[in-house]
Structure 1
Amino acid sequence: MAKKDSNAIATNRKASHDYFIEETYETGMVLKGTEIKSIRAGRVNLKDAFARISKGEAYVHNLHISPYEQGNQFNHDPTRARKLLLHKKEINKLIGQTQQKGYSLVPLKIYIKNGVAKLLIGLGKGKKKYDKREDLKQKAMKREAERAMKDRY
C-alpha cells in the first residue's frame, strides 16, 4: 500500500499517470472565507483541475471546492478560477517552459502549511499511450518482486 502524505488534504493521483512531472512549485491561493473552511474539511477535488498563466498571472481552473455547509449566501462558485501566488520570476520562467510543445501546469496536491492553504503544481510533459503502458508494467513488476520478497522472508 502506498504511503499517504499526512498533511495532504487532496492529491491528484492521475497526474503522475498522465504526465512526467519535471519540476514542482509551492504556491499560495487567493481564497474566499468559506473556501478555506471547505478545504480544511477536506471537501476539495483536484481531478479535472489545471493551471494556466494569463496576463502575467497564474490561475488554477476547475479546482472543485464544495460550498461550505454553514456558508448560506456567502458561499462561492465551486469551480471558479483562483489566482495562484507566485513570484514574478517564477511566473516568467513558467511562461517560457509552458510555451514549449507538450508542457503544461498540473495541480498535484493541496495541503495546509502554517495555517495557510498551499497548492503544489508541477510542470508536466504529457505521456504517450505507450509510456503509460510501460509505467503500468513497471509497477506490476515491482509489486510482484515485493510480494516474492515478502513470501521469502
Structure 2
Amino acid sequence: MVNVYPFNIDTAPYAALERIHGLCFTESWDEDTFEAMLTVYGTYGVAITINEALEGFVLYRQPFDDAEILTICVNPKKENQGYGSRLIKSMLHYLKKPGKCFLEVSPKNTYAVKLYEKFHFKIIHTRKDYYEIGLDAYVMMRDI
C-alpha cells in the first residue's frame, strides 16, 4: 500500500531519510543534517512509503510567502512509477498561498527538469559552477 504524508522535526524518519538520500546522491546528507535542516523555521517534508517502507521524500522550506525545494529523491529502484510526481503534488498542496516556489537542479538531470516542468516550474536563471567545478544549476520557479 502506498502512503503519502507530511512530516516535521518531531515526526521525521531520520534514518530512512539518510538511507534514501544516500541512494540518490553521491554527496548525501546524514541524520544530523536532516535534523539541523528541520530545525529551521518553516522547513517540512513529505514522505512516500510503500508497505510502510520509505521510498522517497521531498524536503522544503516556506518560512513566509515563498518556498524552496531543498531536496527530493525517490529510491532508484522505484523511479518512473509516478512517485516523484506524487511527492511534488502533495508538497504543492501543503504550501501556503500566495507566493512562489524555487529550486535548483542540474541541467544534466533531464528527468528531474522534465518532472518540474510538468508542474509548471520554469527556468529563470543559470547559476554557474553551483554544484562542483564546471557543473551549473538551473534555478526554476513557479507560482504557488
- TM-score normalised over the length of structure 2: 0.30
Q: Which has the larger radius of gyration?
A: 1
- TM-score normalised over the length of structure 1: 0.29
